[in-house]
């Protein structure tokens, strides 16, 4: 019951953030180029992540009622497999990636990622919903719900695929509008951008491995019991 309440709170939190951003955050005409403005929030990884987290916690809610949170069920329902894979491959690493890169760049020079000119139109609490709370909720979710990570190759394939799709999207936006989604890309030449993108992909992989390590540490006893149960089933 407590886990379900947490999931409902997290889901409501992300849905309200998305609703408020779409309904009440309005930038003055001419603030962005027309081509860039037409893409709305969909050009930002932060918004992609908000949608991702909302979808993930919806799957979590469905699993609570239709699936199973047991450590070692006789048959793992599809909704449980989907939930676990989503969390491991994208929900955790992307949430941490968005939060850490945003606040890291803010600490270096906020004009590179969130210029002061945005402050009158984008409330501070919504900024924390999108860039701080995402990390808090995803860590809590790891602590309250058991999961077994997939093979590393499968998990990293999902994460790398997601990040590459967004990377292609940023270039589509640039070639259509002449603007980079994030100001930091304006101060880099093409060689530096390639290095920057590779570094970001590596960071995503590191965060995946960190999530795997943290999960396996938190749930070490349960994972051992699950593996033991699987071994007995095979022997039987």
User: pLDDT per position in the chain (236 positions), as tens?
Assistant: 889 999 999 999 999 999 999 999 887 776 666 656 667 788 899 999 999 999 999 999 999 999 998 888 889 999 999 999 999 999 999 999 999 999 998 999 888 888 888 888 899 999 999 999 999 999 999 999 999 999 999 999 999 999 999 999 999 988 888 888 888 898 899 999 999 999 999 999 999 999 999 999 999 999 888 776 554 454 44
Distance of CA 68 to the CA centre of its chain: 23
Task: Count structural domains, the chain.
Answer: 1
Give CB contacts under 8 A, 24+ apart, made by 129-132: 129/13, 129/14, 129/17, 130/17, 130/21, 130/46, 130/47, 130/49, 130/50, 130/98, 131/46, 131/98, 131/99, 131/102, 131/103, 132/99, 132/103
d(CA 228, CA 161): 33
User: Residue 148, Cβ neighbours under 10 Å: how many?
Assistant: 16
Domain that holds residue 159: 2-235
| Entry pTM | 0.90
Q: Is the separation of the CB atoms in 182 and 40 below 8 Å?
A: no
d(CA 230, CA 178): 55
Q: Is the separation of the CB atoms in 49 and 98 below 8 Å?
A: yes
């Amino acid at each position: 019951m407590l886990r379900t309440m947490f999931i409902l709170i997290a889901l409501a939190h992300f849905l309200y953030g998305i609703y408020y951003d779409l309904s009440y955050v309005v930038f003055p005409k001419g603030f962005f180029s027309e081509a860039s403005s037409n893409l709305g929030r969909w050009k930002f990884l932060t918004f992609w992540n908000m949608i991702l987290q909302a979808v993930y916690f919806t799957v979590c809610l469905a699993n609570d009622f239709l699936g199973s949170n047991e450590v070692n069920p006789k048959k793992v329902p599809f909704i449980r497999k989907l939930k676990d894979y989503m969390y491991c491959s994208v929900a955790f690493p992307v949430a941490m990636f968005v939060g850490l890169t945003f606040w890291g760049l803010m600490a270096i020079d906020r004009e590179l990622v969130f210029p002061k000119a945005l402050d009158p139109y984008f409330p501070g609490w919504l900024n924390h919903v999108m860039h701080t709370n995402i990390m808090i909720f995803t860590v809590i979710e790891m602590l309250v719900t058991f999961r077994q990570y997939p093979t590393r190759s499968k998990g990293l394939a999902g994460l790398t695929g997601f990040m590459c799709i967004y990377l292609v999207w940023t270039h589509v936006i640039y070639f259509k509008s002449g603007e980079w989604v994030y100001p930091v890309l304006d101060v880099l030449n093409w060689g530096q951008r390639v290095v920057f993108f590779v570094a970001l992909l590596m960071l995503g992989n590191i965060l995946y491995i960190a999530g795997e390590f943290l999960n396996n540490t938190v749930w070490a006893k349960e994972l051992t019991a699950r593996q033991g149960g699987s071994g007995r089933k095979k022997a039987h």
